[in-house]
Amino acid sequence: MPETPMITIEAVNKFYGIYKALDDVSLDIAAGEFFSLLGPSGCGKTTLLRSIAGFDTPSTGDIRIDGQSVIGTPPNRRPTNMVFQSYAIFPHLDVEENVAYGLKRLKLDASEERRRVGAALDQVRLGHLGKRRAHELSGGQRQRVALARALVMRPKVLLLDEPLSALDKKLREEMQVELRSLQKAVGITFILVTHDQYEALALSDRIAVMFGGRIAQVATPKEIYQRPTTRQVADFLGGMNFMKARITGETATRLSVETPRFGGVTLDKPLGFSARNGTATIGIRPERLRVLWDDARSDFEVAGRVVDRHYFGEITHLIVDIPGMEQPLSVSETNNFGADDIPVGDAVRLAYDPDALVALSD
């Protein structure tokens, strides 16, 4: 991370009456970063975004954009622009007028204004729809107008409030690719609010996962998916098998545990970890377990019986009961080798990589 972050959020709290929407949030976001705020609804991610935009004011704490505190600065004087969840396209204006809305204040000469509006519309591939009205646009097109209207202002930070949630799945995936390449092209800091973990994983340089007004973990997509620090984060980002393990040794950074069926392992200790009754929660992702066919052997394997099977097209989820474990394991197998044909009730052996096990705070 470079020396001066583009955005610094420092000990921000936000109260609505006695309800705490933001609870001691501190965060640095670098210039040019694609940063996502991920969490379930009501976790405070939108409040945080709106505080950066200036629509909400933190009860305590400081927000600095490019080194300048923006507490008390109204939204119209902040170097941020926002893409609203509903897109907020002005219904009484056509596409070009929408995009030109913020430029009018800059009193550019007509040709310069037209050039910038045209460039912004080309950037989102809407150059041909300049004269359309909001109600004549599809959801995806409205979204592009909202993007162009914000980007044309050349903000230091672009804020996106669940911009893709109103689109259908296919269009959403297309727009994700486009959003990512757009961010690369313009090089502006993007802050995306989303409750869709796949969206956050696919788009972001870094993700902050939030629960109950607090930031639970900030990390790169790969790290946050593979090395979640809390059970809540692990669960929110995708399927995870949890098990209780007895702690056999503990240092400042490492944790040795004896698991029910995965043997004794030594794992990285998550930040803020505290043992309960000498046990720790250990997790392993379903796709890190693999069915061993016929005589195949692995140094690390567990044996059990298939109790259920869920077919998802490209993958199959096998629910495997392991004797001696409280919860059956969920195994995600690609359908290349016939996992979708394993009959319920069959005995299976599963291979795993001990590196795939993570210790989690509860």
Binding site for another protein (CB under 8 A): 53-55, 74-76, 80-82, 84-86, 88, 90-93, 97, 101-102, 105-106, 149-150, 153
Question: Quick check: helix, strand or coil at residue 51?
Answer: helix
Query: 33 or 94, CB closer to another protein?
Result: 94
Say how far apart CA 227 and CA 221 lie, in whole Å.
10
Question: Quick check: helix, strand or coil at residue 179?
Answer: helix
User: Nearest Cα to 324, choosing from 304, 297, 349?
Assistant: 304
Could you tell me the maximum CA-CA distance found in the chain, to the nearest angstrom? 76
CB 247 to another protein: min, Å: 51
CB 91 to another protein: min, Å: 7
Give the number of other CB atoms < 10 A from CB of residue 51. 24
CB 188 to another protein: min, Å: 15
Q: Report residue 81 CA to chain centroid gap.
A: 20
Say how far apart CA 355 and CA 267 lie, in whole Å.
8
Say how far apart CA 153 and CA 219 lie, in whole Å.
30
CB 186 to another protein: min, Å: 17
Query: 17 or 272, CB closer to another protein?
Result: 17
Say how far apart CA 126 and CA 141 lie, in whole Å.
8
Query: 166 or 356, CB closer to another protein?
Result: 166
CB 82 to another protein: min, Å: 5
Query: 97 or 250, CB closer to another protein?
Result: 97
Q: How far is CA 327 from CA 92, 206, 352, in A?
A: 57, 32, 17
Say how far apart CA 329 and CA 256 lie, in whole Å.
22
CB 148 to another protein: min, Å: 12
CB 278 to another protein: min, Å: 52
Query: 84 or 242, CB closer to another protein?
Result: 84
β strands within 95-163, DSSP E: 157-161
Query: 86 or 181, CB closer to another protein?
Result: 86
Query: 86 or 334, CB closer to another protein?
Result: 86
Question: Residue 44 — left, alpha, or beta (φ > 0 → left; ψ -120 to 50 → alpha)?
Answer: left
